[in-house]
Amino acid sequence: MTWAHIAPAVTAAFLASIVEFVEALTVILAVGSVRGWRGALTGAGAGLAVLLALVAIFGPALALVPLNLVQLFVGALLLLFGMRWLRKAILRAAGVLALHDEAAAFAKQTEAMQAAGGRATGFDRIGFAAAFQITMLEGVEVVFIVIAVGAGGVGLLLPAAGGAVAALLLVMLLGVIVHKPLSRVPENQLKFLVGVLLSSFGAFWVGEGMGLAWPGDDWSILGLVLGFLGVALLCVQFCGRSARQRLARP
Amino acid sequence: MKALRAILAELVGLFVDDGAYAAAIVVWLLVVSALVQFTTISPNIAATLLFAGLAAILAESALRRARK
């Protein structure tokens, strides 16, 4: 296992996890501030426990399947996932789609929690369910990325999981310090970068699974990263111009 | 039950956003795989073709969406 494998895997897991955990934090903060922290934190904790169990079960289980099959199947899924993120990030950067707004998401969730009615005197099941659901929804993406990135090579699961845990701790720490949605985190730029990394990993592993010979072996991951990045940056320019022309039409 | 349905929908949504885009990626993977299996194409050229096709699919899909 070389740094050419480990560094992009850890970076992809860390950055992707930051994006997802920031989105989950916004909802958990809204739930906690409206319905109380006990239900919100218990729900988030229960969600995290389920997610950790998923990684613990499916991560090592994939090691039992022949590596080229895992690379082909997981690589294809990673490619679909990464290219979906990358396309969306391109369209957001070009101004075709609206950027994700954490402050607006917080206001919307706060309103929904207030509309859900008064708090029960005992354990708040609504707050628990809302926090559990958002932790699962956002966390499932993190679990997929960790397992997919970790399954592509022997010994990659732990570094990828480490990247995700580091992101979780960082977002939790920032949440405790700032105590409001992390709306200044450049989510779209992170998504753009993660989309590039995951698309590159996906393409590399699908190719390996098919039996292709990548020029430069593992170092071609870096070439793929530069290739996808270049294409994506060009797409932002062309999509932005196209969208402006469309808006300018009478 | 509602939460479970939302999680399942999120699972599918992880990979498929624009159906035509996802289908084009899968078809291209099958085409390159068939080329590798059934022709004498050089593995290096096949790798380059794989990337070029994916890049073209990304660009076409993003531009198509921007023009809508």
CB atoms B33 and A136 under 8 Å = no
Residues of B in contact with A238 (CB under 8 A): 59, 63, 66
How distant, in Å, are the alpha carbons of A35, A46, A118, A124, A138 from that of A38? 9, 12, 15, 8, 20
Residue of A210, A219, A236 to mutate, testing the B interface (most B Cβ within 10 Å of its Cβ): A210
Q: In A, residues 61-90, which contact B (CB 8 Å cutoff)?
A: 76-77, 79-81, 83-84, 86-88, 90
Band (pLDDT 50/70/90 cuts) for residue A118 is low
Q: What is the pLDDT of residue A158?
A: 86
CB contact, 8 Å: B19 with chain A?
no
How distant, in Å, are the alpha carbons of A40, A113, A134, B36 from that of A120? 14, 13, 21, 63
pLDDT tens-place string over residues A143-154: 888 888 887 677
Q: What is the pLDDT of residue A120?
A: 59
Residues of A in contact with B25 (CB under 8 A): 79-80, 83
Residue A1 pLDDT more than 70? no
| Torsion of the alpha carbons at A214, A156, A89 and A206, rounded to the nearest 10 | 40
Average pLDDT estimate for A36-56? 89
Band (pLDDT 50/70/90 cuts) for residue A98 is confident
Ordered by start, the domain boundaries in chain A are 3-248
Residue A210: closest C-alpha in chain B? B33
Q: What's the mean per-residue pLDDT of chain A?
A: 86
pLDDT tens-place string over residues A64-93: 788 788 888 889 999 999 999 999 999 999
Q: What is the pLDDT of residue A237?
A: 95
CB contact, 8 Å: A232 with chain B?
yes
Separation CA A198–CA B30 (nearest Å)? 20
CB contact, 8 Å: B58 with chain A?
yes
Q: What is the pLDDT of residue A4?
A: 66
Band (pLDDT 50/70/90 cuts) for residue A119 is low
Separation CA A228–CA A241 (nearest Å)? 20
Band (pLDDT 50/70/90 cuts) for residue A60 is confident
Residue of B7, B30, B35, B50 to mutate, testing the A interface (most A Cβ within 10 Å of its Cβ): B50
CB atoms A83 and B21 under 8 Å = yes
Q: Which of A99-103, A136-140, A193-197 has the highest mean pLDDT?
A: A193-197
Residue A142: closest C-alpha in chain B? B14
CB atoms A132 and B3 under 8 Å = yes
pLDDT tens-place string over residues A6-29: 887 888 889 989 988 998 998 898
Ordered by start, the domain boundaries in chain B are 17-67
Q: What is the pLDDT of residue A247?
A: 78
pLDDT tens-place string over residues B27-55: 999 999 999 999 988 888 999 999 999 99
CA of A24 vs chain B CAs: smallest distance (Å)? 14
Q: What is the pLDDT of residue B58?
A: 97
| Torsion of the alpha carbons at A12, A191, A105 and A123, rounded to the nearest 10 | -10
Separation CA B43–CA B64 (nearest Å)? 31
Band (pLDDT 50/70/90 cuts) for residue B24 is very high
Which of residues A188 and A250 earns the better pLDDT score? A188
How many CB pairs below 8 A link A and B?
A: 123
Residue A180 pLDDT more than 90? no
Q: What is the pLDDT of residue A248?
A: 80
Separation CA A234–CA A28 (nearest Å)? 37
Band (pLDDT 50/70/90 cuts) for residue A198 is very high
Residue B9: closest C-alpha in chain A? A137
Q: What is the pLDDT of residue A232?
A: 97
CB contact, 8 Å: A1 with chain B?
no
- What is the ipTM, given to two decimal places? 0.89
For A90, what's the count of Cα atoms within 13 Å in the CB-facing half-sphere? 33
